[in-house]
Amino acid sequence: MNNRVGVVSAEGQDAGWSLVLTLGADDTAGHIVGQPNGTYLASFSVTASGDYTISIERTGNSLARNASSAGTATTFPLLAFPNVAGVGSFVSSGASFAGQAGAAATVWVSAKDDFGNTKSQGGDTF
């Protein structure tokens, strides 16, 4: 039995809800939809990795602003997209590489996601 009461808008978001993720001066709107079990599902899509602040409102009243104390916004890390086979890219630290046969050499490689953001965590397969 669903005790949740709400009106769903034409876009599929429950009426009155607002979800905004902020990175620097850029805002990304999300959607909040009520679920049959009485919980709410928030969805969003970002194209840049970074420390975001989140603001959730219901009919203009702030419900959450990922704050450690009331009225104090904090940030949380968010990765844009993991690398998957055939997606993303890598770059080396130099335009060319010269090594000597039989001698150890070091090459630095940085993984980038599909949006060009440098990956900050390991585990990508090349």
Report the C-alpha gap between 120 and 111 in whole angstroms: 8
Tens digits of residue pLDDT in 9-37: 444 556 777 888 888 898 888 888 777 77
pLDDT at 24: 85
Please name the residue that has the structure tokens 């039989």.
Answer: 102
Cα–Cα dist 54/56, whole Å = 7
Distance of alpha carbon 12 from alpha carbon 34, whole angstroms: 10
Pick the CATH number of 17-78 from 1.20.1420, 2.60.120, 2.60.40, 3.40.50: 2.60.40
> What is the average pLDDT score of the chain?
64
**What are the domain boundaries of the chain?**
17-78, 83-120
Say what the pLDDT of residue 79 is: 61
